[in-house]
């Protein structure tokens, strides 16, 4: 498209590069085109949302394992080190 046509239509060069999903669902070359149902879009949206929630849960568990297995013993050792080697004298250790 020339710039004069773009200006007349109120568009830009980037508007031509935007990819839109197809309007129809094609099962095979010989089958007629069918409109997408609103429930299929809702179903896919729910599936993607559930997968995102599952990944969030996986990451939370991974962070819990890292802090529980690797860092908790270090924190305990440092805590007891401060308890036993504080400046004031105690007979707890």
pLDDT tens string 1-20: 555 555 555 555 665 666 66
> From the DSSP assignment, how many helices (H) and strands (E) are in the chain?
3, 2
- Which residue in the block uniquely carries the two structure tokens 């995102």? 52
Q: Is residue 90 part of a domain?
A: no
Res 39: pLDDT: 77
d(CA 60, CA 27): 39
Let me know if residue 49 belongs to a domain. yes
User: Structurally, how many domains does the chain consist of?
Assistant: 1
Whether 92 maps to a domain, the answer reads: no
- Whether 21 is covered by a domain: the verdict is yes
Residue 91 maps to a domain? no
Low-confidence ranges of the chain (pLDDT < 70): 1-36, 87-93
d(CA 85, CA 74): 16
Can you give the pTM of this predicted structure? Answer: 0.46
Q: Assess if residue 23 is contained within a domain.
A: yes
CA distance readout (Å), 60 to 5, 15, 88: 53, 40, 40
> From CA 17, how far away is CA 8, in angstroms rounded?
18
Residue 72 lies in a domain: yes
Residue 37 maps to a domain: yes
* pLDDT in the model for residue 49: 96
Residue 29's domain comprises 3-84
């Amino acid at each position: 498209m020339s710039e004069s046509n773009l200006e007349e239509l109120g568009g830009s060069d980037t508007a031509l590069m935007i990819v839109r999903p197809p309007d129809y669902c094609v099962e095979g070359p010989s089958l007629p085109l069918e409109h997408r149902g609103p429930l299929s879009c809702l179903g896919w949206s729910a599936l993607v949302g559930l997968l995102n929630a599952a990944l969030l849960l996986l990451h939370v568990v991974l962070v819990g394992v890292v802090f529980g297995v690797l860092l908790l013993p270090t924190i305990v050792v440092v805590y007891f080190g401060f308890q036993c080697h504080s400046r004031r004298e105690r007979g707890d250790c």
